Amino acid sequence: MRRTQCHSGHRAGVRRASAALAVALGLVGTVAAAPAAPSAPSAFAIPTSAESGPELAAAAQAAAGPSFRRVDIPMKDGVVLKANVFSPAPGTPGADAQGRGRYPVIVQPASWGQNDLEYVLQGKQLAAAGYVVVTYTVRGFWLSGGEVDVAGPRDVADISAVIDWAIARTPTDPQRIGMTGLSLGGGLTLMGAAADPRIKAVAAMSGWGDLVDSLYSGETRHLQAVAALTAVQAPTGRESAEFQRMLTDLFADRNIPDVIRWARTRSPGAYVDRINAHGTAVFLAGAWGDSIFNPSQITAFYQKLTGPKRIELRPGDHATQEVSGLLGLDNATWASALRWFDEHLKGSGRTSRPPVELEVRPGGAHESYPSWQAVSSRTERLQLGRADVFGTGVLSGGTTGSDATAGTGWRTSVVGGMNSGADGGITELSGLLDQLVQLPPVVALPLLPRWAGAVWQSAPYATPRHIRGVVRLHTTVTASAPQGTVIGYLYDVNALGVGKLISHAPQGWSGKAPGRAFPLDIPLFATAYDLPAGHRLALVLDTQDPLYGGRTPLGSRVSFGSPDDDPSEVVLPLR
């Protein structure tokens, strides 16, 4: 490791309630503008040496910079995708060794709700670096034909059709094909890697490896994220009947097995064996606070890859880390993606960089590791104990000291369906604030109502704790209803009792006998966080969070207890 400092009234109502979220998403949704008038595709003729002209003319062309044109790309089912093409100026370094003037190509599907103008500034920069760039508006959005397919079979077939078109109509080297994209484009990039073996290298930014885990992790509907995406899609997208049905069922909490099957067919992780067989070089970038595609699902996907791979995770929310690059500004993620393509499409030499790079919260230190497994080197177990007279349980173990109230044989109860004041924040906004001003969701621990949320707190730590990876909670639950949801929150608490959210995650259950205890495990979302010396750790468990569609009936009882043979504990992965 190297460490350096640094469809119905209901759906309409959901859309109206998500207006503020749509504004936030729009801020990071890029510089999308109304597309220009459509233009007919034009053939690209590769000049022969006899047609090249004087060297002076070629030098003048190179100095003029990359060319740009708007095109229509027909799909096999008759749908036409709106696209634009950047081509390197003649003489730009990076052409094929055979002297045919062909360059590696990067195919860029636009983000959710955006169009092909989203990547204009990046396209110009990539073309200047010696790449043909084909950016297209995904079917169902803006002036592209068809209906929204959400990385389904039509979207995936479109990727190969765009590659075919690029090979035939641009100076594309068919042996050097890459893809990159943001959000929906990131998911499509990984689906393309699974479907088309011609794709040699990909860079997926703020994408997903597991759409099921993104929409329904912990058997819990991520309703605020889905509502925000729905609001962003509504003005520019045309929903298919299938997509409408999936949204309606998800919001109504019905036919969930069908929703899961639909999402699984759109999950790159379901086809990771194909990506591995193709040997595709995969670069992944994401944010610790991504409220749409959580970091745990992308780190799990990363670990399944066996070919060339790299992952970078930084503070932020969905797409907030990459947005400055779309504005043409220096951006670490886009710079890493370009280096990835240079290495794997141009053969500029393999990197000596370790494949895992993390930016640690809250100080911004950078760490590199040889593998995800190396991110944590040990674990520390903290037992949950009986509550004191103030309603706060003890979190003890490791070097935090012990307490007579810690251990087994206790039970803490809360009223179900109530928000304790602890929550995971607001989609898009909370992670962005953490990125910009190091302000994640905050609570005042002494003020949390113990009847709505159970609280455990450690003694102050004498030395810092470097938390890396997935924090895991195990406890025993006894509930008065057969179904329910618990959300676990881990906080960094200062001397004033103010807690900053380190990580959280929901976990649901169903079909349990009322009044009968059962074990519950909650893996929190992956993180990299440094707890300062003198601070405490706090765990909060409650049953309602605005981010999620919980199933705990209002007014029911949920108890957390620790039988003598099954102690409740938090397992911290530490560097």
Residue 81 is predicted with a pLDDT of 98
Q: How far is CA 488 from the centre of its chain?
A: 20
Residue 12 is predicted with a pLDDT of 40
Looking at 47-56, 513-522, 525-534, which range is the least confident one? 47-56
Residue 203 is predicted with a pLDDT of 98
Residue indicated by tokens 């007919």: 40
What is the rounded end-to-end Cα distance, in angstroms, of the chain?
10
Q: Where are the alpha helices (DSSP H) in 499-555?
A: none
Considering only CA atoms, give the Rg of the chain.
25
Distance CA 573, CA 161 (A): 45
Instruction: Kindly tell me if the per-residue pLDDT of 30 is higher than 90.
Output: no
Torsional sign, CA 348, 349, 353, 358: positive
Residue 283 is predicted with a pLDDT of 98
| 514: DSSP letter | T
Instruction: Kindly tell me if the per-residue pLDDT of 16 is higher than 80.
Output: no
- Mean pLDDT for the chain overall: 89
Residue 367 is predicted with a pLDDT of 98
Write out the E strands in 317-464.
356-359, 366-369, 378-387, 392-396, 410-415, 442-444, 454-457
Q: How far is CA 225 from CA 16, 18, 228, in A?
A: 14, 9, 5
**How would DSSP label each residue in 288-350?**
TT-SSS-HHHHHHHHHH--SSEEEEEES-STTTTTHHHHTTS--HHHHHHHHHHHHHHS----
302-316 mean pLDDT: 98
230-254 mean pLDDT: 96
**How many other CB atoms are there within 10 angstroms of residue 259's CB atom?**
21
Do the strands 484-493 and 536-542 form a parallel or antiparallel pair, or are they unpaired? antiparallel
Of 141, 215, 158, 149, the C-alpha closest to 192 is: 158
The answer to whether the beta carbons of residues 448 and 541 sit under 8 Å apart is no
Residue 510 is predicted with a pLDDT of 97
| 124: DSSP letter | H
Distance CA 571, CA 471 (A): 6
- Which residue type occupies 392? T
| 119: DSSP letter | G
Mapped onto helix, strand or coil, the DSSP state of residue 118 is helix
455-464 mean pLDDT: 97
Write out the E strands in 141-288.
172-182, 199-205, 281-287
- Between 21 and 262, the more confident residue is 262
Tell me, yes or no, if the pTM score tops 0.75. yes
Residue 10 is predicted with a pLDDT of 40
- Give 111-130 pLDDT, tens digit per residue: 999 999 999 999 999 999 99
Distance CA 504, CA 221 (A): 15
- Between 16 and 528, the more confident residue is 528
349-370 mean pLDDT: 91
Residue 409 is predicted with a pLDDT of 79
Do the strands 103-109 and 172-182 form a parallel or antiparallel pair, or are they unpaired? parallel
Residue 549 is predicted with a pLDDT of 97
- Paired with 465 in beta bridges are 531
* Burial class of residue 446 in the structure, from the number of CB atoms within 10 Å of its CB (0-12 exposed, 13-18 middle, 19+ buried): middle
4-32 mean pLDDT: 39
Distance CA 469, CA 574 (A): 8
Instruction: Kindly tell me if the per-residue pLDDT of 54 is higher than 50.
Output: no
Residue 132's Cβ-side half-sphere holds a number of Cα atoms within 13 Å equal to: 26
Phi first, then psi, for residue 480 (nearest 5°) are -85, -10
Residue indicated by tokens 């000596």: 352
Distance CA 480, CA 552 (A): 10
Helix or strand holding residue 431 (H, E): helix 429-437
Instruction: Kindly tell me if the per-residue pLDDT of 142 is higher than 70.
Output: yes
Instruction: Kindly tell me if the per-residue pLDDT of 152 is higher than 90.
Output: yes
Q: How far is CA 514 from the centre of its chain?
A: 36
Distance CA 281, CA 104 (A): 15
**Which pair of tokens denotes residue 474?**
């195990």
Distance CA 117, CA 42 (A): 19
Helix or strand holding residue 188 (H, E): helix 184-195
Distance CA 28, CA 23 (A): 9
Distance CA 435, CA 361 (A): 9
Q: Is the peptide bond before 362 cis (omega within 30 degrees of 0)?
A: yes
- Give 380-430 pLDDT, tens digit per residue: 999 999 988 888 999 998 655 444 445 567 899 999 999 999 999 999 999
Instruction: Kindly tell me if the per-residue pLDDT of 477 is higher than 70.
Output: yes
In this prediction, residue 65 has a pLDDT band, given cuts at 50, 70 and 90, of confident
SS3 helix, strand, coil % of the chain, rounded to 5? 30, 30, 40
In this prediction, residue 98 has a pLDDT band, given cuts at 50, 70 and 90, of confident
- Give 313-348 pLDDT, tens digit per residue: 999 999 999 999 999 899 999 999 999 999 999 987
Residue 4 is predicted with a pLDDT of 45
Residue 402 is predicted with a pLDDT of 46
Distance CA 351, CA 348 (A): 9
Residue 64 is predicted with a pLDDT of 66
